[in-house]
């Protein structure tokens, strides 16, 4: 079987990414060789391929579900918002510049050959390409020059399934309204709809399902229940930021920056049943956590200025002075230094801003982005938080614009790779930072760190409760996702749709 299947949605965050991942895993289980594709992705969660190309994490997740290595052709265009009206534009894994929304709208037509070539490469190497749309195809103001929804489906003659989120309410109206706003050629490609994130008894829906099928003249292919999965989010439209208070022994808090990026770094922490992970915006929400994290940022200077204006500088210093452990990842790491400079205006119009001065380093933004996969060794150990650390082997990846200068040769370096360093620890051992995204995926290192936190609290140490690696855990999640979707949908009809095409 050769073909395509495109999943579009009535809105953002209706579950398109996970449905695409489910179809990738189901096809793999059934003996096919699928690949994911999203022509244009807008997200601050990204990944670096083995070749050093940057792409959206959603397609990385889907590639994992398909059992293949991620490659940049799966996401040829990535937009990383730098403000409410502008984004860094990344084409085939490399940044080509920052653009305002209107400028990009006029320019993006030039990307059609790039997108078409990326798709042709994937379709030549794989049996079935599972295509993810973006937002909604009913955004009629964006119909002209569309690269990612019905414009792409029409060019590729790809059959489309439309997904709606019933958990947020209004699913029948959103499915009907979306179908009604399609043009005739677009409507011909719509082969069925999926109701996603359902809680309750499906029999209650039956009358509405039958009426909907009559109204749009398309079958409802199934109703997928709401699932709690620990898999990567595409962007910041996520339930993870809705804090859930509990009485677990360990507390980890992440500062929710306006331009937070790669918050998927912290997903592995959710697997520890004695740890409460929450995201906070204001210093008043700081509740003496065992670990406080400054995450990555797409605009380090602007987010640093934001934190300072909200009173975070005094709050961070007080937290560290009282013995708390403060960590910075990527942009958060840069903020912990003495200053951040941007003489070329790479990320901001502000040429220089003082950092929080908790680590002896400074960062200069550079025009060329550093994107690479990393193998490194953790080299720091003390009698405090890091008492249980040995020389830990680590893997991860870098995505940053800055070049960081380290000012003290005798200062502890926490992570080293051949020829350069990847992070640092303060002299008192209470502050550390790193450029290494995915550091918490390294389960041995993470378990030793958490046991250091437990020891300081007088709590018993715990063994890593995951069999194997974090990737092994995600493999089970992909299987669970696929089993639920397979059971919920008419997969025979889905396969017929793929075979018949658009």
> What residues are labeled active site?
330, 437
Contact indicator for 213, 206 with CB cutoff of 8 Å: no
Q: CB neighbours of 332 closer than 8 A, spacing ≥ 6?
A: 255, 257, 293, 294, 295, 296, 297, 433
Cross-strand bridge partners of residue 402: 365
Contact indicator for 66, 35 with CB cutoff of 8 Å: yes
Contact indicator for 262, 45 with CB cutoff of 8 Å: yes
Pairing status of strand 260-261 against strand 291-294: unpaired
Q: CB neighbours of 474 closer than 8 A, spacing ≥ 6?
A: 64, 230, 231
Pairing status of strand 413-417 against strand 361-378: antiparallel
Q: Which two tokens stand for residue 402?
A: 């800055």
Compute the CA torsion angle 58, 476, 52, 424 (nearest 10 deg): 100
Contact indicator for 72, 49 with CB cutoff of 8 Å: yes
Residue written as token pair 């085939």: 92
Contact indicator for 320, 312 with CB cutoff of 8 Å: no
Largest CA distance in the chain: 74
Q: Which helix (H) or strand (E) holds 47?
A: strand 46-48
Q: Which two tokens stand for residue 415?
A: 């992570």
Residue written as token pair 């003390």: 382
Residue written as token pair 């699932």: 227
Pairing status of strand 220-225 against strand 54-56: unpaired
Contact indicator for 335, 355 with CB cutoff of 8 Å: yes
Residue 442 to residue 56: CA distance in whole angstroms: 21
* Sign of the alpha-carbon torsion through 152, 158, 162, 163: negative
Residue 451 to residue 392: CA distance in whole angstroms: 15
* Phi, then psi, of 467 in degrees rounded to 5: -75, 125
């Amino acid at each position: 079987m050769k073909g395509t299947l495109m999943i579009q949605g009535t809105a953002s965050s209706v579950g398109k990414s996970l449905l695409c991942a489910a179809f990738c895993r189901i096809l793999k289980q059934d003996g096919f060789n699928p690949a994911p594709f999203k022509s244009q992705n807008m997200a601050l969660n990204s990944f670096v391929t083995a070749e050093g190309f940057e792409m959206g994490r959603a397609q990385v997740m889907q590639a994992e579900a398909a059992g293949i290595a991620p490659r940049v052709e799966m996401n040829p265009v990535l937009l990383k918002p730098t403000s409410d009206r502008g984004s860094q534009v990344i084409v085939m894994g490399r940044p080509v510049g920052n653009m305002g929304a209107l400028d990009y709208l006029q320019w993006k037509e030039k990307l059609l050959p790039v997108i078409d070539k990326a798709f042709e490469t994937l379709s030549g190497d794989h049996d079935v390409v599972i295509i993810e749309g973006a937002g909604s195809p009913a955004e009629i103001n964006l119909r002209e020059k569309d690269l990612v929804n019905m414009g792409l489906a029409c060019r590729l003659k790809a059959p489309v399934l439309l997904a709606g989120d019933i958990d947020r309410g209004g699913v029948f109206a959103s499915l009907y309204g979306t179908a009604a706003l399609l043009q005739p050629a677009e409507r011909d490609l719509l082969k069925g709809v999926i109701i996603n994130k359902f809680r309750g008894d499906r029999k209650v829906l039956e009358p509405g399902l039958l009426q909907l099928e009559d109204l749009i003249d398309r079958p409802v292919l199934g109703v997928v229940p709401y699932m709690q999965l620990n898999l990567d989010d595409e962007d910041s439209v996520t339930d993870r930021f809705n804090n859930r208070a509990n009485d677990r022994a360990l507390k980890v808090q992440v500062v929710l920056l306006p331009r937070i990026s790669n918050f998927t770094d912290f997903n592995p922490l959710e697997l520890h049943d004695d740890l409460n992970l929450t995201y906070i915006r204001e210093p008043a929400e700081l509740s003496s956590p065992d670990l406080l994290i400054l995450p990555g940022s797409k605009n380090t200077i602007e987010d640093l200025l934001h934190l300072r204006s909200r009173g975070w500088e005094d709050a961070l210093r007080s937290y560290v002075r009282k013995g708390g452990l403060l960590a910075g990842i990527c942009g958060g790491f840069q903020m912990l230094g003495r200053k951040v400079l941007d003489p070329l205006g790479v990320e901001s119009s502000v040429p220089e801003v003082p950092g929080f001065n908790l680590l002896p380093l400074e960062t200069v933004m550079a025009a060329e982005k550093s994107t690479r996969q990393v193998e490194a060794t953790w080299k720091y150990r003390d009698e405090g938080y890091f008492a249980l650390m040995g020389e830990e082997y680590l893997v991860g990846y870098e995505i940053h614009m800055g070049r960081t200068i380290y000012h003290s040769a005798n200062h502890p370096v926490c992570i080293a790779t051949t020829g350069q360093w990847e992070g640092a620890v303060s002299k008192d051992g209470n502050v550390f930072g790193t450029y290494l995204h995915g550091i918490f995926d390294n389960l041995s290192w993470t378990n030793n760190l958490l046991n250091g936190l437990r020891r300081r609290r007088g709590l018993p140490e715990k063994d890593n409760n995951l069999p194997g690696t974090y990737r092994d855990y995600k493999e089970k999640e992909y299987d669970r996702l696929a089993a639920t979707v397979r059971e919920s949908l008419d997969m025979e009809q889905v396969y017929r749709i793929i075979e018949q095409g658009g």
